[in-house]
Amino acid sequence: MKRNFNLPKDLVLLISGVPGVGKTTISYELLKRYEEFRIVEETDIIREILRGYNTYIGSEYKLEPDNIYPHDIFLSYDMAKQQCQIMKESILNIINRQKRKKIPTIINGVHIIPEELYLCTPHSNVLFINLYIDSMEALWKRLQHRSPEKYTTACLPILYQTNCDLNNSLQFISRNFCKAYSVNVTNLTIEETLSVIHEILCALY
């Protein structure tokens, strides 16, 4: 892809979407094409630490902890929002750290919920890109390439509904306040998806 722009040094790209839409694949393909980018995986570590902490609080002090769901639980949109709320301060700290260091950064995950984060990130160079699928059949086709023990037809309705709710939520985010885009990847190849994101970056920067 031909480039006639430079990525801002304090750019943070947050990629959201349900399992199967290609968040990790697209993140690492972007890394190959834009050498400035780095990928931050710390949010998964934070998630596991919080789960361990909550388990300890519950067992030692018999308190009702905030719920950080394990990786084998499929989240409704409300559950994903709750998880993002719990992790929000840690995610924002990572965003602000990377911006201070002026390292263009990609953060992706099921816990990245633009509706929960955008009001806290009114920075000029924070960009949200949501990847979504427009049919249950297309999502199932993608999930079949993943672990068959984990991804069965039973999980499909909740994942597809979360996918739809996440996509719909972006309609209420003003582009004047926050850079947030949804990319329908249903019929796109990896290269075509990267091309769409490239056009977004080109238009912005």
pLDDT confidence of residue 52 = 63
Helix (H) or strand (E) segment spanning residue 88:
helix 77-101
In angstroms, the CA 144 to CA 174 distance is 35
Q: How far is CA 53 from CA 50, 57, 71, 93, 132, in A?
A: 5, 6, 16, 19, 32
- pTM here is 0.88
What are the mean pLDDT values of the chain's consecutive 10-residue runs (205 residues total)? 82 96 96 93 70 59 62 86 87 90 94 90 85 96 87 93 96 83 96 97 92
Q: What is the pLDDT of residues 20-60, one digit of tens each?
A: 999 999 999 999 999 999 999 877 767 666 666 566 555 66
- Separation of alpha carbons 114 and 120, rounded Å: 10
**Cβ contact 160:55 at 8 Å:** no
